[in-house]
């Protein structure tokens, strides 16, 4: 990547990230946890012991019978961010979801960013262990996974 490309990318990302940070609104969670509490199934954005992680995609507007699409400002901004992420993908090598995570984590202190990256790896390992664990080892694996998910949420990863 040449210097001009780096400067352009830096300027674009700085302006983009600044507008996101200035909003000071927590990002909507697209991760939903399916938990069983006292024999009842509960869905929450907070992790719980033995939770099943469910990724959800919210609807993106309403199409009236006239064929016109009605979308809110949040959906327009999300689409703009996706187009931007695709435009700079050859440089950043990140898709729209990865870019959204990077943007969200940009405002975190460097040590929190490092911890978030480590937690991502830990949770992948723990989720794989949860799928393959014996009945005997499962509770301990689930406790570790809950601790990692809770810490990730607390940090704002």
Taking residues 110-136, what's their average pLDDT?
95
The C-alpha atoms of residue 120 and residue 102 are separated, in whole angstroms, by 13
Q: Specify the pLDDT at position 7.
A: 40
- Summarize the confidence of residues 90-96 as an average pLDDT: 89
For residues 85-113, average pLDDT? 91
Q: Determine if the pTM surpasses 0.85.
A: no
What digits encode the pLDDT tens for the residues 61-79? 666 656 677 777 877 888 8
Mean pLDDT for 138-146 is 94
Q: Give the tens place of pLDDT for each residue, 42-55.
A: 888 888 888 888 87
47-53's contacts with Cβ under 8 Å and 24+ in sequence apart are: 47/145, 47/146, 47/149, 47/150, 47/153, 48/146, 49/142, 49/143, 49/146, 50/142, 51/146, 51/149, 53/127
């Amino acid at each position: 990547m040449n210097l001009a490309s780096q400067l352009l990318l830096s300027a674009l990302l700085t302006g983009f990230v600044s507008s996101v940070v200035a909003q000071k609104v927590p990002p909507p969670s697209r991760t939903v946890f399916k938990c069983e509490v006292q024999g009842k199934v509960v869905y929450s954005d907070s992790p719980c012991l033995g939770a099943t992680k469910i990724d959800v995609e919210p609807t993106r507007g309403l199409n009236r019978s006239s064929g016109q699409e009605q979308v809110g400002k949040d959906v327009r901004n999300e689409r703009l961010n996706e187009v931007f992420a695709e435009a700079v993908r050859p440089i950043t090598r990140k898709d729209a979801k990865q870019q959204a995570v990077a943007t969200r984590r940009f405002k975190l202190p460097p040590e929190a960013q490092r911890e978030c990256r480590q937690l991502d790896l830990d949770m992948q390992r723990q989720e794989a262990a949860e799928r393959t664990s014996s009945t005997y080892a499962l509770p301990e694996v689930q406790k570790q996974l809950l601790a990692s998910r809770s810490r990730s949420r607390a940090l704002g990863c």
